[in-house]
Amino acid sequence: MSEAVITLDHVSASERDQTLVEDISFTVHRGEAVALVGSNASGKGLVLRLCAGLEAPASGTVRVLGADPARATEEQLLGLRQQVGFVFAKPALISNMTVFNNVALPLRYHTALPETEIQERALARLTECGVDAFRDRMPSDLTLGDARQAALARAMVMDPDILCVDEVLLGLDADELVRLRKILERYRKAGRPTIVATVNAPTSLLRVMDRLVLLRDGRLVATCPPAEALQVVDPMVQDFFGSQ
């Protein structure tokens, strides 16, 4: 078994004074592709932010790449941010920057690379995500699907150890879904980065994943390979996968 890069140990967490995650424990190993599966009320989005070190637990311990984000120094947190790429459900592109400059920004801000190399890397990621034709457009000119693909390019431009994608299906048309599946398959084959994504509907992308973390009402129901999901005795799981 490869090393653990994310560990949640008896973690509970709240949002706006409401407990959304209760006593969850699981581990993600280096090179794994893991889907957090559940409805919109399952707490999976909060669990994803905990996995990325963007939220602190109310109780329990989270470790990301060996560090406890809740106890890390500002310098340690900055280093962690550079190793964890995150795609939010709302793409969060900077509105007054072109798509290209959004993707190049992390390299310009966090590295001393020459501008020629920054441009090469940014364009390579935009091309990989199928949005290189939009490099000179502003985020407001993009569809939600294209904006999320641009956000994926930005999340990957620093070559992170971990990639977190919230609501992986949101805004994608059929062609974009096929492209994303190919990207995830390529990353999984390469063993880098470790991938954690939230999913709230049946999708062919689940077959790309090594493991599912099944959540209901803020609690962990089970973890299993995709092929074994229907064996999990739980009404939510049966309804979810029975609709495929």
Q: Domain residues of the chain, as ranges?
A: 4-92+161-242
pTM, full prediction: 0.92
Q: How far apart are CA 119 and CA 202, in angstroms?
A: 37
Q: Are 204 and 179 in contact (CB under 8 A)?
A: no
First to last CA, the chain: 31
Residue 190 burial (C-beta neighbours within 10 Å; 0-12, 13-18, 19+): exposed
Give the residues of the chain that fall short of pLDDT 50: 244
Share of the chain above pLDDT 90, in %: 62
Q: What is the pLDDT of residue 206?
A: 87
Assess if CATH 3.90.280.10 describes domain 4-92+161-242. no
Q: What is the pLDDT of residue 85?
A: 95
